[in-house]
Structure formats: structure tokens, C-alpha cells
Amino acid sequence: MRLEGKPVADKIIKEVKASISLLIEHNIKSPCLAVIQVGNDPRSSVYVKNKEKEAKKAGIISETIKIDEKISKEDLIKQIQSLNESDKYAGILIQLPLPQHLKESEIIEHLSPIKDVDGIHPDNLGKLMRGTPYLTPCTPTGVIEILKYYKIEISGKKCLIIGRSNIVGKPLVFQLLQENATVTIAHSKTQSIEDEVKKADILFVAIGQARFVRGSWVKDGSTVIDVGINSLTREDWEKKGFPITDSIEADFKKKGYAIVGDTYFEELEDKVSAITPVPGGVGLLTVAVLMNNTLKAYIRQKNLENHLSEWKNL
């Protein structure tokens, strides 16, 4: 089975929109999301545009704040603090990566945890870790949403995460633990990664290496969640010896690149019981969860929890 991301993302966006419609019916304004983009990285611009588009679908007001890439650390922190204090913004997202002279971990600490809709402030990571989550990182939360939507049992399962990034692999450990999985986290220093993969009931791959996991590695009937989004030019593609299908050819002609995941989808699809495609899988969830987090932050800030559930039950 292909675990398509679209119906899951659509469901989340629809629910966010329904809640916001209820707020508006009760004369409460839509939440507003501030997206800070430092510099003009073209890939970041694509992501930021995409966030604006999805916000619109969900009924969230989004405001992109473009900042010169030469901004000093101190000035950026001042900007963040003024957004923290402004009643206008329910959520603040800092589009990553930041220019080299700005240390991400330092900058993120200055976000107000209650507005940190990306769920990456240490306070939010710590709350997730100890089992009292508030705003959780978007991509791993999307992964859990996919598993739940398709009713894939997590409790008691052997889960293997490959990749230990702060925004995917590490938080996912606790989101799976929360669901009572036995969780292993592997990475570039892991010995005999293939043996680990062979034993996993559910495999999560988030390392950013095109088609890293081969079909022969996985356990028959397992579930595979491919979190990788690698864009390859025709030259990269040919260097890796990947076959060029008609749709890949069309991508090269249209966009100059093609997107591929961290697993060799064509080799895995017939062996596993379920797998997320790339594109069209986890990637679609990240922004949907961001919108849900923005609503959640807003509801919390305005103390609307009880009102909203009351209105929903009317």
C-alpha cells in the first residue's frame, strides 16, 4: 500500500479551517503566522511561498518578514523579541537554514516557546521528551499523523529511525516512545545498518541520501516511512546510475531536477506492506502540521480551549 500524504494533509487543513471558521463566527480573528526569511536562498523562497499558500487554505493569515542576509545576531534577536511581544502574531517561524554567521541553536532560543510553531525551541523539545508535549516539530508529527491515519499499529513494534537530526530523528524517538514502540536510532556511525533494517517492523529514513535504503535490506511486510526529499539534477541522477523513467524525464525537462527519497522506492514497494512515496508522502504533512501548530498556539494564548470544544459540540 502506498501511504499517500495528501488525504492526511487535507484532513488536517480541513480541521484547522473548520476551527478557524468557528472562531470567526464568534467574532474572533484568524490567527496570524509570521515567517522570518533571512536572505534570499531560492529553496527557502519556495518553502516560504508554499507556507503562504497552505496558510491561506487553512484560513490562517501569514506574513513573510524578509530580512537582509547581512543582519547581525543582535538585530535579528531584537526583531524576534518584538514579534514575541506583539499580540498580532500567534506563531513565529524562522525559515532555516540561516546564513552561516548566525548560529541557529542560539537564535532559536530567543523565540517565545509558546509561539514556536516549528516546535524546535529547547523548552518544547524538553516537554516532548518528558511526555508533556505542547508544540512538536512538524515533520515527525506529520509522520505520526500518517501512521495513525492509515491505522498502522505502533505500540510494541520495533521501530528503526535512521538519521539523528534535531528536527526529525531525535524528536521522533519520543513521539514513537509515547506510542509505546521499541525505538532504535541509527546514524552514520552505526555498524551493520543493514542488519538493523532487516529487523525493523517500521522503518523511518531521514538522512538526506538519495535511495540509500535498498529493497534487499528491508523485512518483508514491514512499513517504511521515507522522510527524505533529495533534488537531483540529470547529471546527479546519471552519476548514481538511477534509471530515467518517463516521469523523471518530464521533471528534468520541466524543472531541471527530480525529487527522490532516502529509499529505493521501486525496489521496496513490492516487499513491504506499506510505504510513503516521495514526493507525495511525508513532505505534504510538514506544512499541514505547521498550520495546526499555529492554531494550537493561538488557542493556548487566547485561552480558547474550552470555548472551542464547546462550540464544536453545538
Strands (E), the chain: 32-38, 61-67, 91-94, 158-162, 182-186, 202-205, 223-226, 230-232, 258-260, 274-275
Active site residue 6: no
Instruction: Select 157 or 296, whichever has its Cβ closest to a copy of itself.
Output: 157
Task: Check residue 126 for interaction with a copy of itself (CB under 8 A).
Answer: yes
**Residue of the chain from 180, 216, 273, 309 that contacts a copy of itself (CB under 8 A):** 180
Indicate if 95 belongs to the active site: yes
Looking only at residues 106 through 125 of this chain, which bind a copy of itself when binding is defined by CB under 8 A? 120-125
187 sits near a copy of itself (criterion: CB under 8 A): yes
Q: Is 84 in the site for a copy of itself (CB under 8 A)?
A: no
Which of 114, 173, 258, 285: binder of a copy of itself (CB under 8 A)? Answer: 173
Q: Which of these segments, 23-31, 156-164, 204-212, 235-243, binds a copy of itself (CB under 8 A)?
A: 156-164
Grid cell 546519471 in the structure block, residue: 238
- Which residue pairs, CB below 8 angstroms and at least 24 apart, start in 240-249? 240/210, 240/211, 242/210, 242/211
Would the CA dihedral through 181, 272, 225, 58 be positive or negative?
Answer: negative
Q: CB 191 → a copy of itself: shortest distance, Å?
A: 5
Q: Check if 209 is active-site.
A: no
Inter-helix orientation angle 283-301/6-25, to 10°: 20
Distance CA 128, CA 72 (A): 31
> Is 170 an interacting residue with respect to a copy of itself (CB under 8 A)?
yes
- The minimum distance between CB 204 and a copy of itself, in angstroms, equals 14
Residue in 37, 115, 116, 118 annotated catalytic = 118
Q: Of 282, 156, 147, give the one whose Cα is nearest residue 223.
A: 147
Long-range CB pairs of 49-52 (<8 Å, 24+ gap) are: 50/287, 51/93, 51/287, 51/290
Q: Which are the catalytic amino acids?
A: 51, 95, 118
Binding residues for a copy of itself, rule: CB under 8 A, are: 105, 120-127, 129-132, 155-156, 158, 164, 166, 170-171, 173-174, 177, 180, 182-187, 189-191, 196
